[in-house]
Amino acid sequence: MPLLLVTFSVCLFILLMQFIWKYVGDMVGKGVELKVLIEMFAYAALYLVPLGLPLSILLASLMTFGNLGEHLELLSIKSAGISLMRIMKPLIILVAFIAVIDFVFQNQIAPKAQGKLWTILWSLRQKSPELDIPEGSFYKEIPNYNVYVREKDKSGVLKDMMIYDFSGGYGNAVVIVADSGRLKMSDDKKYLILTLYTGEQFQNMNVRQSNRRAPEQIPYERESFSFRQILIHFDSNFNMADESYMQNRDITKSTKELISFIDSAKVVNDSIRRRESPLFINRIYAGFAGAGSARPGNTEHTNDFEKYFKQASLGDQIRALESAKSKADLLNNDLNFRLMDQTMRKKEFRGHRIELNRRFSYSLACLLFFFIGAPLGAIIRKGGLGVPAVVSVFIFILYYTVDLFGFKMAKQGVWPVWQGMWLSTLLLVLLGAFFTYKAVNDSVMMNPDAWKDVLQRLVGKREMRNYSRKEVIMVSPGYERDVCAMTETDKIEEIKKELNIKNEESWEN
């Protein structure tokens, strides 16, 4: 559990940094308060929990069983007659419990967090940027104005200014040239006060289009000034958007609401199909000669149109073609509108089904990643953050790539939703079954030493050993001589003992 908490914190931090990097353009230069950014990061962390939890389980299980294998603890447990599946059983129960908690989290907390997160991001995108007019290029962040400044000094004075005012429309643009000026924000931060010194203003006069013959003949108005102030509407306050805008999105709904929407949308789509199909057929195949032939089922002229058209007079042919063209244009517009409406309905329907399948697949991925990480750690027998981190990141990138590919296919309607959203889960099932089978049978396929031996055999390189040469001289044993020597040795020992006894007695006397 401590290892899981540490790896989860690291994975969540990495995913959060990736999220910040993705949306850094919406946050930089907006002058947003630190409180709003902290709130956004908190909601982003909650949004990324379902994605970071499977990765942390994979890494933690790899490190745990890698440490057990590296210190030969796993080997000693197996030698006591305990199988790998029995060793994994308590952790399987724990990870299954975590998967259930993850599903509840995605159902209750994640939708609310995503609603608030995307509301903040939408508000940030709508907020006007802070004023930072560059030198030597046009600044276009002020609505309806383009401002060019050649040079700025430390006191905030803008020199050699050129301003294009499009507030009256692009056809009535106003060009202002000034030697210097200042730009500051009003106290309520809703307006810009542009102060200009010593300049000129150019504007085309409002002349009818019919009276214009050539561009050089268009009259314009020129005005010189020594001092001028322009008030520009520029709301720089951060205004939070209404959260009700996100309430109907699939990411903000609970599982029960998703299922209810899918059921009702399925009924609506079926009813639209039953209603639109006969209407489409009747309007396409309806005749063109007279109102009577336009009734459904009247095929008097549709069966032999070419013969009827040639027998008609020239005026009837022209009227028929004009009528057909107008009907075709009207029908085209009507069908395009209906097609757009049905496309939006189907896209919304697929979005809800994708979100529903995603919640089940992410929760199941927690358990499947454990069945990959634990056997793989037992095979690799390497702990720490070295090999396990590399292997887990590689497996997770493979899973995320396949999941993103399936999501794109399902979102675009190329594949059925269940195929696209469960493709990555099928990959995890295959990997988990393979690694578990290899670990239970004590496979050495992921052992670095085994791969080293295989590579050495393939390249024909053999292991070199150092042998030290020693000279040994051996002689035939003389058993009789050795027996005599041993007998003499025993006699000498008896004589020594007798002498020692006599010496002790004499010493006492």
Please count the structural domains in the chain: 1
Classify residue 143: in a domain, yes or no.
Answer: yes
Classify residue 37: in a domain, yes or no.
Answer: no
Query: pLDDT tens-digit profile of 368-381?
Result: 999 999 998 888 88
pLDDT at residue 296 in the model: 43
pLDDT-wise least confident of 266-275, 322-331, 358-367: 266-275
pLDDT at residue 216 in the model: 54
pLDDT value at 143 more than 50:
yes
Query: pLDDT tens-digit profile of 68-122?
Result: 988 889 889 988 989 889 999 999 999 999 999 999 999 999 999 999 998 888 8
Strand, coil or helix: what is 184?
strand
Q: What is the mean pLDDT of residues 290-317?
A: 60
Strand, coil or helix: what is 42?
helix
Sheet-wide strand order for 158-165: 138-139, 145-152, 158-165, 174-185, 191-204, 220-233
pTM: 0.66
Structure tokens belonging to residue 76: 């000693």
Distance between CA atoms of residues 260 and 363, nearest Å: 21
Classify residue 169: in a domain, yes or no.
Answer: yes
DSSP-assigned letter for residue 290: S
Q: Which amino acid is at 46?
A: L
Phi, psi of 454 (to 5 degrees): -60, -45
Q: Which residues pair with 194 in a beta bridge?
A: 183, 230
pLDDT value at 293 more than 50:
no
Give the DSSP letter string of 141-181: -STTEEEEEEEE-TT--EEEEEEEE-TT-GGG-EEEEEEEE
Angle between helical axes of 2-22 and 34-70 (0-180°, round to 10): 140
Environment class of residue 45 by beta-carbon count within 10 Å: exposed (0-12), middle (13-18) or buried (19+)?
middle
pLDDT at residue 173 in the model: 82
Classify residue 33: in a domain, yes or no.
Answer: no
Length of the chain as a residue count = 509
pLDDT value at 291 more than 50:
no
Q: What is the mean pLDDT of residues 463-472?
A: 71
Full domain range(s) for residue 165: 131-233
Residue 212 CB neighbours (<10 A)? 11
pLDDT tier for residue 290 given thresholds of 50, 70 and 90: very low
- Sequence-distant (6+) residues with CB within 8 A of 463 are 456
CA distances for 451 relative to 62, 435, 444, 475, angstroms: 20, 17, 9, 49
Q: Which of 53, 67, 100, 99 is nearest to 380 (CA)?
A: 67
> Do residues 119 and 243 make contact, with C-beta atoms less than 8 angstroms apart?
yes
Classify residue 191: in a domain, yes or no.
Answer: yes
Residue 60 CB neighbours (<10 A)? 28
Query: pLDDT tens-digit profile of 226-256?
Result: 998 888 887 666 677 777 777 788 888 889 9
Classify residue 135: in a domain, yes or no.
Answer: yes
pLDDT tier for residue 442 given thresholds of 50, 70 and 90: confident
pLDDT tier for residue 294 given thresholds of 50, 70 and 90: very low
Classify residue 286: in a domain, yes or no.
Answer: no
Phi, psi of 150 (to 5 degrees): -80, -35
Classify residue 139: in a domain, yes or no.
Answer: yes
Q: What is the mean pLDDT of residues 488-503?
A: 72
